[in-house]
Structure 1
Amino acid sequence: MKHPVAKSVGWALVHAARLHRTRVGERLNRLGLFPGQEQVLQALVGGRTLTMGELASLLRVKPPTASKTVARLAAQGLVERATEPGDARVVVVRLTEEGARRASSIDNLWNEVENELLRGLDNKDRKRLRKLLRKVARNLAASGTADGAMGLDDDPDDMEDTPAVASVG
C-alpha cells in the first residue's frame, strides 16, 4: 500500500532524510556516539575553542540542549569545558585528544554514507541535487525564521565540480 502523499516531493525528502539519519546513526553508534554529538565534535576540530553560546548558535539549538550534549561528551572524555579567564560566567569548550581522534573517524563515516546516498549519480547529478536542495531550503527559510537560512549561501558548486562531503563547521 502506498503512502497517500507518496508523490509529494516533501514526503520523498523527509523519507530520504530519515533513512540518511538512520544510516549515520548506526555508524555513530559504532563510535560510541549519538546523532547530534558528531556535530559538536566536528565544530571543534582544528583546535577550535567555542563558547557554549557560540556552539549553540552554530548547531542551531537552544543553549540548554548544547550544554546537555557537551556534558555527555565531557563525561566520555571527548571534550573539556573551562571558564573564560576574566569572566567565570563564560564557559568554553574544546576537544580532548580522544575527541580529536573520534572526530577524524566521523569524516570517514560521512563519506561512507555519502557514497551510499549518491550511488548511481554522476557528478553532474550530484551538483544539481545539491543546488536544488539548497534552493528549496532557501525557499523554506524565507517563509519562516532566519535561523533556517544559516549556511545556505555557502555554495561549493561555484568551485570545481567534485562530490561534496557533509560536515559541520
Structure 2
Amino acid sequence: MSVRWQQVPTASDVEAPLGELPAPRRPGWLRRWLWAPAVVATIGIYVTQRLVEDPSGELEMWLMLALLAGLMVTAVAALVRYRDDQRFAHESRSVEALRRDARATTGSVTVSERPVGDSVMLRGLLTYPRGDETAEDTWSLLVPDGADPGPRPHDPVAVWWAPGSDDVVARYHRGWADELRRRTG
C-alpha cells in the first residue's frame, strides 16, 4: 500500500472532492534506455573477440573482462527498466481506480518524528475503515521547515481509497483535525 499525502492550505479543502490526481512520472531517459547502448557495446565486444585471430593471452583476457562487464551493465540496466515499468503500470492502475471509484472516509494516524536537515521526516501508521475491514498502511511525509505542520499522533485525516487500488490519498489540515475533534469529542 502507498499513501499519497496532500497537505491542503485551508480546513475547508480537506473534505473537498478528490479532483484530478497527478499521473505517475516516468523515470528519466537514462534509466529507461541505458540497456540499449549496453547491448550494442556488448555485441561490439563479442564481435571484436571473434574477429581477432590468434589474440595474445593478455588481449583475450581484457576482451573477456570487457564482455563480462558489458553483460553485467546490460543485465542491471534491463532489470532497472523492468522494475520501473512495473512500478509505473501499478501506479497508473491505482490512479485510474481512484479516478473511477474513490470512496471517502476518516482515518487516524500514529506519528513519529525525525529531524532531517532543515526538515522533519514524519512516519507512522494510517488506520481507516476499508469496506468491511480496517486497513493499516505505513506512511512517511517530509515536512520542510516553515511549511504547514504535519499531523499529530492520533489526529484524524480524510482518506480516499478505491477497490482494486493499493494507493490511498490522505488529506490533512491541523485546523480541520481540531474542529473534527471538537465536534466528535
**TM range, normalised to the smaller chain?**
under 0.3
**Structure ranking higher on relative contact order (CA contacts 8 Å, 6+ apart):** 2
Greater C-alpha Rg: 2
TM-score by length of 1: 0.25
Q: 1 or 2, which has the higher helix percentage?
A: 1
Greater fraction of residues in strand: 2
